[in-house]
């Protein structure tokens, strides 16, 4: 399954617009909703070892290829920039190249992870996908970026947090493998928001206090009353627009949305664990990618997290991760417990979480 940055409920709202001012946007949203999403298997660069056995080539450095679909829905398109090449002058291609590099840098330099799969997976992206295509997604093999409709959305490469978010779906694919439905699906989305924000913060050297905590800042046109798609600091406040409506994300488990749409509300209810992470990061201060991000990273790589984990189980996994790395009396454990409690999901006490 592919994971698009624009939630289907937002695309449906745009698709229903009958205002001539937004005719292009409405058509683009309908196309995006009908788009045939294909899941592609991951490919590796292969070679042979000294015994003539087939092995994956592992190089702890990015290996990027940016291709141009030239307005078609044909993937991958024509390569326009490879690793080490000079900028092309095409903003979308160069933003994609830089964004893939920034994402690689966070995982490699902070968490010691060699690319998305941990084994040196080449980072490929396709830009200029479709005609005014209103989305960006990870398809299991590569990043794919539309240019937006120009009335509501601009090009999706313009936001580093979008690039980091979508590539984080690839990391989850290779780690926790969280099922994209209901609470496990909302966790899948939330983890992508968390690491999308951390990619942006690490690249810009922003502390918890300096960061915007926004996902998708820069992809709205000036016509939209809103700053981004989502806010980790304050879910439900990212936009409030006559056309798009008000950001519907809840920030507390008391307001959890029961729905059959959007995979059981994966883009909606992700606001709850998003807020929990922000509270943890705020409590610890400094750079969020360090302790708070490390705890979340340890949790998705841990042995106890199941593919269908709910919020409470993930909360327990983060407490266990903090306990394992920092100790029961640490500020980190206390911050994780307080963070989840602050969104209405008090986790297991440290001694219980650490023993699972």
Active site residues: 166, 267
37, 144 contact by CB (below 8 A): no
For 136, 139, 148, 303, the CA distances from 29, given in Å and listed in that order, are 13, 19, 9, 40
Type and span of the H or E element at 334: helix 331-341
Q: Name the residue among 44, 215, 210, 204 with its Cα closest to residue 123.
A: 44
80, 86 contact by CB (below 8 A): no
Q: Name the residue among 83, 38, 31 with its Cα closest to residue 62.
A: 83
Alpha carbons 124 and 96: distance in angstroms, whole number? 9
How many residues appear in the chain? 356
352, 319 contact by CB (below 8 A): no
b (16+ CB within 10 A) / e for 265-282 = bbbbbbbbbbbbbbbbbb
Other Cβ atoms within 10 Å of 298 Cβ, number: 17
Q: Name the residue among 119, 128, 118 with its Cα closest to residue 95.
A: 128
Alpha carbons 255 and 258: distance in angstroms, whole number? 9
261, 9 contact by CB (below 8 A): yes
Alpha carbons 215 and 197: distance in angstroms, whole number? 7
Q: Name the residue among 261, 262, 334 with its Cα closest to residue 292.
A: 334
């Amino acid at each position: 399954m592919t994971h698009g940055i624009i939630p289907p409920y937002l695309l449906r709202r745009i698709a229903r617009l009958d205002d001539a001012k937004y005719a292009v946007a409405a058509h683009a949203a309908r196309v995006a909703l009908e788009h045939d999403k294909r899941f592609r298997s991951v490919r590796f660069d292969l070679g042979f070892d000294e015994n003539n056995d087939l092995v994956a080539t592992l190089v702890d450095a990015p290996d990027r290829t940016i291709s141009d679909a030239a307005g078609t829905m044909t993937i991958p398109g024509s390569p326009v920039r490879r690793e080490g090449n000079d900028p092309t002058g095409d903003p979308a291609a160069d933003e994609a190249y830089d964004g893939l590099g920034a994402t690689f840098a966070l995982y490699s330099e902070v968490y010691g992870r060699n690319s998305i799969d941990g084994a040196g997976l080449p980072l490929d992206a396709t830009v200029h996908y479709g005609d005014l295509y209103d989305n960006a997604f990870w398809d299991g093999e590569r990043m794919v970026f539309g240019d937006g409709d120009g009335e509501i959305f601009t090009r999706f490469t313009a936001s580093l947090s979008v690039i980091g978010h979508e590539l984080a779906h690839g990391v989850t694919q290779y780690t926790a493998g969280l099922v994209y439905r209901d609470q496990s699906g909302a966790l899948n989305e939330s983890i992508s928001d968390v690491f999308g924000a951390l990619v942006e913060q690490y690249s810009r050297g922003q502390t918890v206090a300096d960061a915007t905590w926004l996902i998708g800042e820069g992809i709205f046109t000036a016509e939209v009353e809103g700053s981004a798609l989502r806010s980790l600091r304050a879910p439900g406040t990212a936009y409030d627009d006559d056309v798009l409506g008000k950001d519907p994300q809840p920030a507390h488990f008391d307001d959890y949305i029961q729905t059959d749409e959007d995979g059981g509300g994966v883009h909606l209810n992700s606001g709850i664990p998003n807020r929990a992470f922000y509270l943890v990061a705020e409590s610890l201060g400094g750079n969020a990618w360090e302790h708070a991000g490390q705890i979340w990273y340890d949790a998705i790589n841990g042995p106890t997290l199941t593919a269908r984990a709910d919020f409470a189980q993930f909360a327990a996994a983060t407490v266990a991760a903090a306990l394992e790395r920092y100790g029961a009396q640490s500020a980190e454990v206390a911050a994780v417990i307080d963070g989840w409690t602050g969104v209405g999901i008090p986790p297991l006490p440290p001694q219980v979480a650490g023993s699972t």
